[in-house]
Amino acid sequence: MLLFPCAFKNVLPLPDISSIMHKNTVSLQEVLMEKRISALAFALENEEREREFYLAQAKKTKNMAGKNMFKQIAEEEKEHYEMLKQLHDRWVVQKKWPGTVPLKVKKSLTGTILQAMSGKKSARINGTEDELQAVRTAIDFEARGVALYTKLEKQSTDPKEKAFFQMLAGVERQHLLSLKDTEEFLADPATWYQRMEKSGLDGA
């Protein structure tokens, strides 16, 4: 067989496949990181908007149990916002999970609000339709929060990052359950207290 070297003079060398794969991998990681940063910015906006809603409803709500529930959640959402803001600002600069962001928030106290009001007559008044609607709106807020933080947790690969979003999803879930409890309470306080008293006796 005859070879014609001149025919191959302009043939380019094969590209380094491993280098291309590495660049593609880095590019994909950057895209995923940007998506998570965008999602975090969205979460920040949500936390701020929700806190403003809770503070406004705390002023409007006459029922003391509902008022105290809104106040407590607003306070806890403030802590979440401050932590998420710190995380977002560092993440944008460092382009990686910042190791100095704390992984703990205070334990939610929303589950104790209704029980603490049990001896007060002002808490045994049925909620108005507007108050009930406000609680239902809040339930929707918290359900969306649980879904968002759960999604971020599943997208994460860093163990600390996963633990952080898992923790936030857990706190939002506690808010959700407490608000559902508040909805039942405002609809019928007497029945709610009877159920709690029966539950306490059964567990004794």
108 to 3, 73, 79: CA distances (angstroms):
80, 8, 11
* Residue 106 lies inside a defined structural domain of this protein: yes
pLDDT at 141: 93
- Give CA 133 to chain center in angstroms: 22
In angstroms, rounded to a whole number, what is the distance separating the alpha carbons of residues 151 and 44?
15
* Residue 77 lies inside a defined structural domain of this protein: yes
pLDDT along the chain (204 residues), means of 10: 50 53 59 78 89 95 91 92 86 75 77 79 81 95 93 85 87 93 90 76 53
Q: Can you give the residue range of the structural domain that contains 35?
A: 21-203
pLDDT at 19: 53
* Residue 173 lies inside a defined structural domain of this protein: yes
pLDDT at 8: 45
* Residue 101 lies inside a defined structural domain of this protein: yes
pLDDT at 168: 87
